[in-house]
Amino acid sequence: MNEANNERPNPLLLKAKQARYFDELVDLFDQEQPPQIQANLREIVASAGIKPGDSVLDVGAGVGVLVPFIEKYGPARIVACEISPRMLERLREKYPRVEAHLADIGELDLPDSSIDVIFMNAVFPNLAEKQKVMANCSRMLAPNGRIVISHPEGRPFVERLREVVPFPLDPLPTFPKLRRLAKGLPLVLTLYQDRSDLYLAVLDKAPLDPRRPIGKR
C-alpha cells in the first residue's frame, strides 16, 4: 500500500493536499465517460428519485460529471460543493446555472432543510471527517430528503486507487459502517448495493425510529 495511506494528517492539511492533487487533474476528469460508467451514473442519479422543482446538492462535484444526468429530472436548483478551485472553475464554465461553492462539505453552510437530494459520488473515501459530514448533510436535508453515496466503478477500483494516490484514502463504507455513521441521525439506510462495478447506498431522512427496517439489496 502507498505509504501515504498509512498516515493520517490533520484534516485541514489533507484537504489542502487533495485540492492541489485534483487541481492538476482537471483535464483528465473532463473527458467523456465510457458507456458502462455512463450507465452506472444514470443508475446512481435515478436512485435519488429527483422530482421537478427539487434542490440537489452534488458533493465533490469535480467538473460536473453528474450535472447533465441530474438536469434531466428538472430540479429547480443544483448546488455544487468542491474543494479544488480549478475543478470548480471548469464546472462553472460548463454549467453556469449551477450554484457553485468552493468549500468542504463538513463546513458548507446552507440553510437547514433546504436540500432535497444530496449526492456524494466518488468522493466518500476522500472525506476525513465522515461523522461531521453526515451530520451536516442531515442538517441541510429536507424532511423525506435523500443522501446517495456512490462510486460508479465500485469497491475494487477504489482499492486499486488506494495504492497510488498521494494521500490517505478510505475504503468504501461497508453496510455496518454506514449504519454506525447514521446512528443518532434522522437517517435510514434504505438501499445498499456493493457490486464489483458499482457501489450505491441510499439514506432517507426520516424521524428517528429504531423499529424502522433497514434495507440491503
- Domains in the chain, please, with CATH? 3-205 (3.40.50.150)
CA dist 193 → 34, 51, 177, 180, 215 (Å): 21, 23, 14, 17, 10
- Give yes or no for residue 1 having a pLDDT over 70: no
pLDDT at position 215, please?
Answer: 45
Q: DSSP code of 166?
A: S
Q: Across the chain, what does the average pLDDT equal?
A: 93
Q: Determine what percent of the chain is predicted with pLDDT higher than 90.
A: 89
Q: In the prediction, which pLDDT does 108 show?
A: 98
Report pLDDT digits (tens) over 26-75.
Answer: 999 999 999 999 999 999 999 999 999 999 999 999 999 999 999 999 99
- CA distances from residue 73 to 42, 102, 130, 157, 160 in whole angstroms, order as listed: 11, 25, 28, 29, 33
C-alpha cell at 100: 457553485
What integer pLDDT is reported at residue 206 of this predicted model?
Answer: 87
Query: What pLDDT sits at residue 2?
Result: 47
| Best CA proximity match to 119, nearest among 83, 67, 195 | 67
Grid coordinates belonging to 71: 438536469
The pLDDT, as a whole number, for residue 8 is: 63
Cell 441541510, residue located: 140
- Residues 88-140: tens digit of each pLDDT: 999 999 999 999 999 999 999 999 999 999 999 999 999 999 999 999 999 99
d(CA 53, CA 75): 5
pTM above 0.75, yes or no: yes
Q: What confidence score (pLDDT) does residue 214 get?
A: 44
Contact 30, 90 (CB under 8 A): yes
- Residue 208's pLDDT is what? 54
Give percent of the chain above pLDDT 70: 91
Phi, psi of 104 (to 5 degrees): -85, 140
